[in-house]
């Protein structure tokens, strides 16, 4: 609907702030996936391009040095050779994912950063990370100590990373303008409950606490549903207290394994509840099933990952605290995203009624 002022000039409707916030959150998520894909392609490119460029890089690679430094900082241990390679690969993919997330969020607010099909982003990453951050961190010598071939290899690798990241990000974010919300099952209908369920596999009470606080604050549209009890501030307070208690109990040696039948059942219920609460209207049952499945998968994956990391570090508590942070931040981010989406739906409904 086009609006005109008293002079007959056409006015462009202002986007609600919630739309911008949701777009930035979606852009960051798409950018993270794109950065992960870009890092994978970059690694493959480096495998074949090394013979051509013959780079004289750091020994061991900067990513492996970063992994060793992180392990020493957290647990005081040292990675063995095979573990060092795996740690270096993990650092490579984590940095690529985080860089992609930042790029995706920035591209929503300032589309100009995506110029040259992502090559500008790749060039910037090569300069800021390889040429500046890595030497400053002590993982490589100053840039003037390396050959031209080495610099060309680094920039070519990051240009590939930037190009692939932008291509994937653009594909994930491309959408046709719609005057109404999709009536089919969307990627959001699948990803939000699965991610909340996965967090339930790590910590039983954190995702329900996050969705309860979101429902009581910004709102998740649960007021007239069977889950309306989640909109109470008392529910949020009780769930939050239970989450804090679980963080403490998780560090005790006598606590049962999360994959024990009773603990697993609680996590599955937590995932189902959290997924259903964060679902858009008409998708609660689907979201509950996906949340339960995510909790089941998250329980086994996080159990195995924690055991491996604790064995590598020689200590369990640093891994446990890192898992606490991941579950807390992840649950809060996803619940906040669901609340933003619900507010966006309400804004669109109000605009439709006003029209």
Per residue in 10-48, pLDDT (tens digit) is: 544 454 555 566 677 778 888 898 999 999 999 888 888
Cβ burial 163-193 (10 Å sphere, 16+ → b, else e): bbbbbbbeebbeeeeeeeeeeeeeebbeebb
Domain end position, chosen among 146, 173, 200 = 173
Domain end position, chosen among 112, 143, 173 = 173
Q: Look at residue 5 and tell me if it is in a domain.
A: no
Closest CA to 61 of 73, 46, 77: 46
Q: How far apart are CA 291 and CA 287, in angstroms?
A: 6
What are the angstrom distances between the C-alpha of 109 and each of 12, 24, 252, 289?
18, 7, 45, 35
Helices (H), 203-316: 206-216, 233-250, 261-278, 284-313
Q: Look at residue 178 and tell me if it is in a domain.
A: no
Indicate the average pLDDT of the chain. Answer: 82
Percentage of the chain modeled with pLDDT above 90: 34
Percentage of the chain modeled with pLDDT above 70: 83
Encode pLDDT of 101-121 as tens digits. 999 988 887 888 888 888 999
Closest CA to 266 of 204, 212, 216: 204
219's torsion region: left (phi>0), alpha (psi -120 to 50) or beta? left
- Same domain for 274 and 141: no
Domain total in the chain: 2
- Same domain for 77 and 224: no
- 132 and 99 Cβ atoms separated by less than 8 Å: no
Q: Look at residue 2 and tell me if it is in a domain.
A: no
What pLDDT, on the 0 to 100 scale, is given for residue 11? 46
What pLDDT, on the 0 to 100 scale, is given for residue 309? 80
Q: Would you call the peptide bond into 60 cis, given omega within 30 degrees of 0 as the criterion?
A: yes
- Same domain for 194 and 326: yes
- % helix, strand, coil for the chain, step of 5: 75, 0, 25
Q: Look at residue 33 and tell me if it is in a domain.
A: yes
Q: Look at residue 179 and tell me if it is in a domain.
A: no
Q: Look at residue 59 and tell me if it is in a domain.
A: yes
- Same domain for 279 and 154: no
Q: Look at residue 345 and tell me if it is in a domain.
A: yes
- Confidence label for 2 from pLDDT (cuts 50, 70 and 90): very low
- Same domain for 217 and 130: no
What are the angstrom distances between the C-alpha of 249 and each of 242, 257, 313, 324?
10, 12, 21, 12
Beta-ladder partners of 3: 11
What pLDDT, on the 0 to 100 scale, is given for residue 148? 85
- Same domain for 128 and 24: yes
Q: Look at residue 6 and tell me if it is in a domain.
A: no
- Same domain for 240 and 160: no
Q: What is the mean pLDDT of residues 182-206?
A: 86
- Same domain for 338 and 191: yes
Residue in this structure with the two tokens 């750091």, named with its chain if needed: 58
Cα-Cα end-to-end distance for the chain: 7
- Same domain for 298 and 349: yes
- 273 and 231 Cβ atoms separated by less than 8 Å: no
- The answer to whether the predicted template modeling score (pTM) of the entire model surpasses 0.75 is no
Encode pLDDT of 219-233 as tens digits. 788 888 888 899 998
**Domain residues for 152?**
17-173
Tell whether the model's pLDDT for residue 351 goes beyond 70.
no
Tell whether the model's pLDDT for residue 159 goes beyond 70.
yes
Domain end position, chosen among 173, 197, 218 = 173
- Same domain for 169 and 191: no
Encode pLDDT of 59-101 as tens digits. 677 777 777 777 776 666 666 666 777 777 888 888 899 999 9
- Same domain for 277 and 151: no
Encode pLDDT of 233-271 as tens digits. 899 999 999 999 999 999 888 888 899 999 999 999 999
Q: Residue 242: count other Cβ atoms within 10 Å of its Cβ.
A: 15
């Amino acid at each position: 609907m086009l609006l005109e002022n008293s002079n007959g000039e056409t006015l462009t409707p202002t986007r609600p702030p919630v739309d911008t916030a949701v777009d930035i959150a979606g852009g960051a998520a798409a950018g993270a996936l794109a950065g992960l894909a870009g890092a994978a392609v970059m690694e493959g490119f480096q495998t074949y391009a090394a013979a051509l460029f013959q780079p004289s890089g750091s020994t061991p690679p900067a990513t492996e040095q970063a992994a060793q430094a992180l392990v020493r900082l957290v647990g005081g241990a040292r990675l063995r050779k095979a573990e060092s390679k795996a740690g270096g690969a993990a650092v490579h993919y984590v940095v690529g994912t985080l860089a992609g997330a930042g790029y995706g969020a920035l591209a929503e607010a300032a589309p100009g950063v995506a110029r040259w099909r992502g090559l500008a982003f790749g060039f910037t990453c090569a300069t800021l990370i390889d040429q500046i951050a890595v030497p400053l961190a002590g993982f490589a010598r100053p840039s003037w100590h390396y050959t031209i071939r080495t610099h060309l290899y680094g920039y070519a690798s990051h240009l590939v990373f930037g190009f692939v990241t932008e291509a994937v990000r653009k594909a994930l974010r491309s959408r046709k303008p719609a005057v109404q919300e999709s009536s089919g099952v969307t990627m959001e209908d699948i990803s939000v409950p699965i991610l909340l369920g996965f967090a339930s596999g790590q910590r039983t009470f954190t995702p329900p606490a996050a969705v309860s606080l979101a429902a009581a604050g910004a709102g998740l549209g649960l007021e007239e549903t069977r889950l309306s009890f989640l909109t109470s501030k008392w529910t949020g307070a009780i769930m939050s207290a239970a989450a804090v208690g679980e963080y403490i109990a998780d560090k005790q040696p006598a606590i049962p394994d999360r994959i024990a039948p009773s603990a697993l059942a609680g996590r599955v219920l937590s995932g189902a509840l959290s997924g259903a609460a964060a679902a858009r209207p008409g998708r609660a049952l689907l979201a509950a099933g996906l949340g339960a499945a995510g909790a089941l998968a998250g329980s086994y994956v996080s159990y195995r990952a924690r055991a491996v990391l604790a064995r590598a570090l020689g200590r369990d508590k640093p891994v446990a605290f890192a898992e606490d942070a991941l579950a807390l931040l992840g649950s809060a981010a996803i619940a906040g995203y669901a609340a933003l989406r619900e507010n966006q739906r309400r804004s669109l409904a109000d605009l439709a009624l006003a029209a």
